[in-house]
Amino acid sequence: MSLNRYQPIFSCLLLFACLIIFSAASQARDLSEIQKEGVLRHIGVPYANFITLYQEGPHMIKGGMDIELIQGFAKHIGVKYQFIPATWSTAFTKLTGQSASYVNGELKRGEATQNLQGDIIANGVTILPWREQVVDFSTPYFPSAVWLIARADSSLQPIIPSGSTNEDIKKVKNKMDGRDVLAMKHTCLDPDLYNLSETKANVILPLKQRKLNEMVPAILNNDAESTLLDVPDTLIALQKWPGQIKVIGPVSQEQEMAAAFRKQSPQLRDAFNAYLKQIQTTGEYQRLVEKYYPSVFYFYADFFEFK
Partner 1 sequence: MNLKQIFTAKNAFIIASVLLGAYLLLILTVTNIGRSKLEDARYNELQFKVDHYDTLLTNYFSRVYRQMNIAANDKSVSTYFANKSSGMSMAYGLGASLFDVNQFLKKLVKNSNHNSQLPTFSRITLLSINGSVIADSDDPDTFHLHKIDVLALKQQQHKIIVDGSHSPLMMQLSTRVYFQKKPIALLIAELNPNPIIELLHSQDYSRQGSRIELSSSDGNLVAINKLPSHLIENSKHSDLFYFEQEINNTPFLLKAWFSQINDQELLTSRVFIIIMSILAVPIFLGIYYLVHVERKNALLQSEISHAKAQQETLSIHNFQLEKEISKRKSSEKRLAYQATHDALTGLPNRSLSLQRLNHAIDTCERHHSKVLVMYIDLDNFKQINDTLGHAAGDVILQQTSKRLLSSVRKIDTVARLSGDEFMLVISELQDQKQATELAVKILSLFDMPFEVNEQAFHTSTSIGLALYPDDGEDPSTLLKSADMALYRAKDAGRNNFSFYESQMNNEVTRKVAINRRLREAIKHNLLKMYYQPLIDLKTQKIVGAEALMRWTDEELGFVSPEEFISLAEKNGLIGQLGNFALSTAAKQAAQWQKIQPLQIAINFSSVQFRDCHALLSEIQNVLLTTGLPADKLDVEVTESLLIGEEKELLDMFRRLREMGVQLSIDDFGTGYSALSYLQKFAFTKLKIDRAFIMNLGHNLSDQTLVTAIVAMAKALHLRVVAEGIEDQEQVHFLSDLECEYGQGYLFNKPLPASEFEKLLYAHNKKS
Figure out which of the listed residues 234, 252, 255, 265 binds partner 1, where binding follows CB under 8 A. Answer: 234
Closest to partner 1 by CB, 122 vs 189, is 189
Among candidate residues 66, 116, 99, 31, the one with its CA nearest the CA of residue 232: 66
Which range of residues in 20-28, 52-60, 72-80, 160-168 is near partner 1 by CB under 8 A?
A: 160-168
CB of 202 to partner 1, least distance (A): 22
Footprint of partner 1 on 67-96 (CB under 8 A): none
Which range of residues in 44-52, 90-98, 256-264, 295-303 is near partner 1 by CB under 8 A?
A: 295-303
By CB under 8 A, is residue 152 in contact with partner 1?
yes
Q: How many CB atoms lie within 10 A of CB 72?
A: 17
Figure out which of the listed residues 78, 105, 161, 283 binds partner 1, where binding follows CB under 8 A. Answer: 161
Figure out which of the listed residues 45, 122, 146, 159 binds partner 1, where binding follows CB under 8 A. Answer: 159
Long-range contacts, stretch 106-110, CB < 8 angstroms, 24+ apart: 107/133, 107/134, 109/134
By CB under 8 A, is residue 235 in contact with partner 1?
yes
Closest to partner 1 by CB, 235 vs 257, is 235
- Residue 88, classed as helix, strand or coil, is coil
CB of 150 to partner 1, least distance (A): 9
Q: What is the dihedral of CA 6, 9, 14, 15, to 10 degrees?
A: 150
246 pairs with which residues across the strands? 150
CA distance 260 to 92: 9
Among candidate residues 258, 257, 256, 307, the one with its CA nearest the CA of residue 283: 307
CA distance 50 to 234: 13
Figure out which of the listed residues 147, 272, 285, 292 binds partner 1, where binding follows CB under 8 A. Answer: 147
Figure out which of the listed residues 1, 3, 112, 160 binds partner 1, where binding follows CB under 8 A. Answer: 160
By CB under 8 A, is residue 252 in contact with partner 1?
no
Phi-psi region of 186 (alpha: psi -120 to 50; beta: other; left: phi over 0): left
CB of 25 to partner 1, least distance (A): 48
By CB under 8 A, is residue 9 in contact with partner 1?
no
CB of 152 to partner 1, least distance (A): 5
Footprint of partner 1 on 259-278 (CB under 8 A): none
3-state helix, strand, coil in the chain (%, to 5): 40, 25, 35
How does strand 39-44 pair with strand 80-85?
Answer: parallel
**Residues making contact with partner 1 (CB under 8 A):** 147, 152, 157-161, 168, 234-235, 238-239, 242-243, 246-250, 294-299
